[in-house]
A = this chain, B = another copy of it.
């Protein structure tokens, strides 16, 4: 027996029918995956990071498999805000799930401009701000690892939109909770964590980096313990809703993220391996809640016993 009410979660004003979201960069603009995934069972999707102008992205090779993970250096290939509004929004409006729009930019003004241009789009339920992309020189990580940038970006964007504002944090820092606090104090409704960790791989035959960009972002099951530690750190130190990301591949992982402090989670790399994961995990989550007599999924958030 499925009880949808028990699974809904609120992130600021953002009401999600269940805590399972699809992570930015692993669901495109929803089009391909909509052909087979039942979106009515998905909490929401976060669209591929958008920049003001279209970006071509990095040359191949953009991805490398690693042990229980992968490196990517896509380089924020995206259609740009204008084309997004023109050609992607109409399709997104047809989807029966919450649409969260992820923005990545190379300057604080560009972030603000993107949000301003997109703010009127009804279908956009929230903004997720990518300040932590490790794969482009001129954007993202330089902000994500710098506390004052996070402060500035958050407060500037808060002034531009009333929609829920989610800051996506970089794990490549010593104390992620400082960044979560900066986000909170400057008006963010939630943080999402973690983005990928900087990694690299070399081909021992050619001695060349396996990625054209040399370094890339590490994702997948390999990074899960790191994500759990980061989320737990934020949960202990800062009172802000956390959207957990990093290596989730099944329902047990999801539960572990909620226990560690997350209010909702995002599936990333696993969408490539099993594009039906979101639906499967929801079924398992329903079973788990029935078996464990969980009435409200929100009861699990930060339910760790120390």
Contact = CB atoms under 8 A, between A and B. Distances in A.
B214 A306 contact: yes
Nearest to A144: B174
Given A68-B68, A69-B225, A256 B201 contact: yes
A208 to B, nearest CB: 5
Contacts of A199: 225-226, 228-229
A290 to B, nearest CB: 15
A304 B209 contact: yes
A228 B202 contact: yes
A207 B214 CA distance: 40
Interface residues on A, range: 35 or more
A250 to B, nearest CB: 11
B305 A206 contact: yes
A3 interface: no
Contacts of A304: 202, 207-209
A279 interface: no
Contacts of A67: 68, 221-222, 224, 247
A255 B200 contact: no
Nearest to A218: B225
29 contacts: A66-B224, A67-B221, A68-B221, A68-B222, A69-B225, A174-B174, A198-B229, A199-B225, A199-B228, A200-B225, A200-B232, A200-B260, A201-B225, A201-B228, A202-B228, A202-B256, A202-B260, A202-B304, A204-B252, A204-B259, A206-B305, A207-B259, A207-B304, A207-B305, A209-B304, A214-B232, A218-B225, A218-B226, A221-B222
